[in-house]
Amino acid sequence: MNNLANFPSFQVNTNKQSQTKKKLFVEMKVTDGDQKRALLLHYAGEKVYDIYDVEKREMEATFKATLTLLNDYFAPKKDVQMENYNFRSCKQNDTLIG
């Protein structure tokens, strides 16, 4: 394990991580899905692994499934109440077109 590349650790509260994993796999010449999954979880850090461990339930242990799970978890969620408020706050414009 001492031969692993030195990459910055994943910051849970930022959105700047999308290119980091691609650079890691390219520089380390990793093409195997199991290796990609292991490296992703290793470099993501303990907080992300804990999230993965809780959320994984009975999904298959593949790189693609792991990546989808983490992307879905970290994707911004819509606030349904705010969306309803914005929709109901719309007013018809008084100007006529044409």
One-character DSSP codes across 62-87: -HHHHHHHHHHHHSPPP-HHHHHHHH
Question: What is the reported pLDDT for 85?
Answer: 93
Q: What is the pTM of this model?
A: 0.59
**Over its length of 98 residues, how does the chain's per-residue pLDDT go in tens digits?**
456 667 666 666 655 555 566 677 777 788 888 888 988 888 888 888 888 888 888 888 899 999 899 888 888 888 999 999 999 998 887 776 65
Query: If you ran DSSP here, which 8-state letter would residue 10 be given?
Result: P
Question: What is the reported pLDDT for 88?
Answer: 92
The residue ranges of every structural domain in the chain are: 18-88
